[in-house]
Amino acid sequence: MALLPFTRPSIDEATIAGVAEVLRSGWITSGPQVKAFEAALSRHCGGREVRAFCSGTAALEVGLRLAGIGAGDEVITTPLSWVATANVVLEVGARPVFVDVDPRTRNIDLALADAAVTPVTRALIPVDLAGLPVDRDALDELARRRGLRVVEDAAQSFGARWRGRPIGASGDFVAFSFHANKNITTGEGGALVLPDPALAPACEKLRLQGVARSGEDGMEVDVLGGKWNLTDIAARIGLGQLERLAEFTARRRALARLYFQCWDRALGCELPVEDFENANWHMFQVVLPPHASRARFIARMRELGIAVGVHYPAMHLFALYRARGWREGQFPHAERIGRAIVTLPLFPAMHDDDVERVCAAARQALA
């Protein structure tokens, strides 16, 4: 039996044909398709200004720069995320400050974030792990009360909602990822939702080497930017994907429901929060019981034809961050979850019996 991957994008023939048209057009870097994709993203985000990037990481970094975060500043975030979440803080010269997660949601504990604020704290980067949104009401209240900027790492939560509104339709800066494993993809790519339309020119300058053009031949550079633009090829994929967002989200939620129905609770695993109103079910993750070896579980699942991912180890334990003073034992919830969490297959093209197959394999692997 073929290996069941933990994720696989669904690219339809109309999108493939559209990419071919872009290739034939001769305009394959940033152009009309990027503008169309940004306009579609803006409609999804309630009319807010959105700019596309080559990655969600680039969008996060530019969000920090536009928020004025730099040397001497502290930015509070979670240790349970892809390492890019904290790396971008280092990139702008600031210091990431980790706080532990809520063991149930696996998202940043906002009470601990509040307690970690110092006179040099300037921003928060919350992460919607696996597509489960951080409590936006509590987040906004904390940011207002403490005078902090927020750059939402919504890399995993495109298509999720909070109180009926899409993530990205409100808040400060919001960064999305359209990596190949995300709920919609551009192959590689991302986007940044801006809190103020007046920031769009500065955002565009930072996205492309700080260049500002005027007239027929005018060019000026007054800030240090990057090379972070999205191609028209990628944007055309994104346009096709965005049309199917509701379909993809509905299917992911249906598969997640099946997981809850089929999973053997006697295995002793910690299941995710059963949220079918807000979460986009980017990933279905379980935390293995204390007696289980994750490495052996992954190997055994592969033998049974099931691919399993790890998202994510607690990043403060990486050498890069240990060298900056972080150490084991500081964030027990994130460390425990990071050592035992596994990502099970979940993608729109899966069949119902694929979920049953995964659950049956897990029973064997954990026997």
How far apart (Å, rounded) are the C-alpha atoms in residues 133 and 135?
6
β strands within 1-73, DSSP E: 50-53
Counting every residue, how long is the chain? 367
Tokens coding 363: 């029973």
- Provide the terminal-to-terminal Cα distance of the chain, rounded to the nearest Å: 22
* Contact between 100 and 112 (Cβ < 8 Å): yes
Concatenate the DSSP letters of all residues of 170-235 into one string: SSSEEEEE-BTTSSS--BS-EEEE-S-GGGHHHHHHHHBTTEEEETTTEEEE-S---B-PPPHHHH
Angle at 121 between CA 118 and CA 125, to 5 degrees: 130
Q: In a 3-state reduction of DSSP, which class is residue 277?
A: coil
Active-site position among 35, 182, 205, 227: 182
User: How many CA atoms are closer than 13 Å to the CA of 53, on its beta-carbon side?
Assistant: 32
| Residue 182 bears catalytic tag | yes
Catalytic residues: 182
